[in-house]
A and B are shown apart, each in its own frame.
Chain A
């Protein structure tokens, strides 16, 4: 009695195999030419003001505009693919897109996996707290027992975990947005963020009064790396060179400065 189930099973198995092979082939791109005339960028959204969405779904932000300007300079087309931060490097390596331009800090750990362009932006990080917070300077004593917010997997996460993980509670969020929401809700005592992002989402927002605690931090290099860079697959050296050249040109001809002052009022 069970034999025809076996036969059915085998028939099903064969069908399944062909369907999956066909779909793999269908999903496969044709052999990618080494010369890219369209570059696909991977970006994690939102991370205001670097990259974020307008309510109608359009992408905008410093990274987006700079990226588009660079592509114009090189003379190629760019498209933007949204990818969560957790999977952004695996996605690049899996050829889901060709470059990452998403406020990614250049550091040694990432250098093991990807190739970086020259740094295009080097913001410091800063601690932000409610305006009436009694914390004046971040240290093991002042942060003891407090709840710190960071975005999971960022340099701020690594820094905060190593420095204060044993005295404070660290809440790790998938996106900076989640963190800001909890901050506004009063669940966090203090957050550690890239300065421009904190400024845009906390200081300049009208959801509450916030202040910067202590000084802005850019050291030590072990955590803070060398600023934001565009990430490429290791074998795409030519592509990285093209972007470096374009970046230098944009910096020389004032396009970079214009974008910079559009997003970050005063030069640091």
Chain B
């Protein structure tokens, strides 16, 4: 183990580009990417469930505003959404004097807001589709039992909707990971930001970007296997019977 350490440090020291300092930047970038992606997915998910329920409701005053929200956020590029929130937030009158500024000043939080709103919109549509696809039989049975709408949602519709949404949501998680690279555009030192820094300093595009591409590839595969495992566990009942 010691020998491995020594060899690794020597490798880093000899290499002009992959020094301990630049690996540090990549590590820092990885941490930032992970934070951004996980937080936005989590909050987006929590927002999406009630929004999806509202979207599938028959009440127009609930359905249409949510539809407008998902239409706009799914129909415009994430980059634009990020720019509007990052630059636009500054021009709210007097915002620099409020406590909000302490959060909005750092580029991380406007980016988090943009990513969260974006993934919430997509996830809402995914869940809505899953809710809509609930087999009629189950709903009829629930009604026959005299369940209230709320109880039916909680006991029957939502659990099976979650499982149905799993494949599509797995895709959404991977999209979010890839979309997070855009954060580097507003100076956030995420994985892509680290790559751009190394490229700018050493004029070595292949080293800088191939390395980071490899990291993203590993992360993507990790997520893919995680969701395959989840699908196996939770969707086993839907697999074709051999």
Binding site for B on A (CB under 8 A): 86, 89-90, 113, 152-153, 157-158, 171-174, 178, 181-182, 185-187
Decide yes or no: A186 and B101 within 8 Å by CB, A86-B200, A113-B203, A152-B197 being known contacts: yes
Tell me whether B196 is interfacial, beta carbon within 8 Å. Answer: yes
For the complex formed, measure the closest distance between the CB of B215 and the CB atoms of chain A, giving whole angstroms: 20
The answer to whether B96 touches A153 (Cβ under 8 A) is no
A83–B196 Cα gap in the complex (Å)? 16
Residues in B lying within 8 Å of A, measured CB to CB: 87, 90, 96, 101, 105-107, 185, 187, 193, 196-197, 199-201, 203, 205
Neighbouring B residues of A157 by C-beta, 8 Å: 200-201
B200: A residues at CB distance < 8 A: 86, 152-153, 157, 172
> Nearest 8 pairs between A and B by C-beta?
A153-B200, A185-B90, A171-B187, A152-B200, A186-B96, A187-B105, A172-B187, A86-B200
- Tell me the bound Cα distance from A178 to B164 in angstroms: 44
21 chain-A/chain-B pairs, Cβ below 8 angstroms: A86-B196, A86-B200, A90-B205, A152-B196, A152-B197, A153-B200, A153-B201, A158-B201, A171-B107, A171-B187, A172-B187, A172-B196, A172-B197, A172-B200, A178-B187, A182-B187, A186-B90, A186-B96, A186-B101, A187-B90, A187-B105
Most buried by A among B105, B106, B107, B187: B187
Which B residues touch A181, using CB under 8 A?
A: 87
A151–B201 Cα distance when bound, in Å, is 11
* A171: nearest chain-B partner, CB-CB: B187
Min C-beta distance of B171 to chain A, whole Å: 27
Q: Which residues of A contact B196 (CB under 8 A)?
A: 86, 152, 172
Residues on B with C-beta less than 8 A from A185 are 87, 90
In the complex the two chains form, what is the Cα distance from A89 to B201 in whole Å?
A: 12
Q: Is the CB of B197 within 8 A of A187?
A: no
Residues on A with C-beta less than 8 A from B197 are 152, 172
- How far is A89 from B106 in the complex, measured between Cα atoms in Å? 32
Chain B positions within 8 Å of A89 at CB level: 203
CA of A23 to CA of B38, assembled, Å: 44
User: Pick the contact of B107 from A152, A174, A186, A187 — CB < 8 Å?
Assistant: A187
Contact B105 A186 (CB under 8 A): yes
Q: How far is the CA of A186 from the CA of B205 in the complex (A)?
A: 32
Chain A residues, CB < 8 A from B203: 89-90, 113
| Residues in A neighbouring B193, C-beta threshold 8 A | 172
Instruction: Give the distance in Å from the alpha carbon of A182 to the alpha carbon of B185 in the complex.
Output: 13
CA distance A181 to B86 in the complex (A): 11
Contacts of A86 in B (CB 8 A): 196, 199-200
Seed contacts A86-B200, A90-B205, A178-B187; 13 additional CB < 8 Å A-B pairs: A86-B199, A89-B203, A90-B203, A153-B200, A153-B201, A157-B200, A157-B201, A158-B201, A171-B107, A172-B193, A172-B197, A181-B87, A187-B106
A178 CA to B107 CA, complexed, in Å: 13
Residues of chain A within 8 A (CB-CB) of B87 are: 181, 185
A153 vs B201: C-alpha distance when bound (angstroms): 5
Residues of B within 8 A of A113 (CB): 203
Bound complex: CA of A172 vs CA of B200, how far in Å?
A: 10
Contacts of A186 in B (CB 8 A): 90, 96, 101, 105
Bound-complex Cα distance A157 to B187 (A):
13
A128 to B236, CA, bound (A): 62
Q: Could you say which residues of chain B place their CB within 8 Å of the CB of A171?
A: 107, 187
By a CB distance below 8 angstroms, the chain B residues around A178 are 187
Q: Chain A residue with minimal CB distance to B196? A: A152
Complex: chain B residue closest to A110, CB-CB: B203
**Which residues of B are found within 8 Å of A182, using beta-carbon distances?**
187
Q: Which single residue of chain A is at the shortest CB-CB distance from B187?
A: A171
* B201 and A173 form a contact (CB under 8 A): no
In the assembled complex, how far is the CB of residue B76 from the closest CB belonging to chain A, in whole angstroms? Answer: 21
B107 partner residues in chain A, CB cutoff 8 A: 171, 187
Would you give the shortest CB distance from A207 to chain B, in whole angstroms? 12
Chain A nearest CB from B99 CB (Å) reads 14
Residue of B nearest to A173 (CB): B187
CB neighbours (8 Å) of B106 from chain A are 187
Most chain B CB within a 10 A radius of its CB, from A157, A172, A173: A172
Contacts of B199 in A (CB 8 A): 86
Instruction: A181 to B186: give the CA distance in the assembly, Å.
Output: 12
CA separation between A161 and B175, bound complex, in Å?
Answer: 32
Complexed CA–CA distance, A172 and B190 (Å): 12
- Please measure, in the bound complex, the distance between the C-alpha atom of A157 and the C-alpha atom of B25, giving whole angstroms: 15
Q: Separation in Å of the B38 CB from the closest CB of chain A?
A: 22
Q: How far is the CB of A265 from chain B (nearest CB, A)?
A: 31
The docked-state distance in angstroms from the alpha carbon of A182 to that of B91 is 11
Residues on B with beta carbons closer than 8 Å to the beta carbon of A172: 187, 193, 196-197, 200
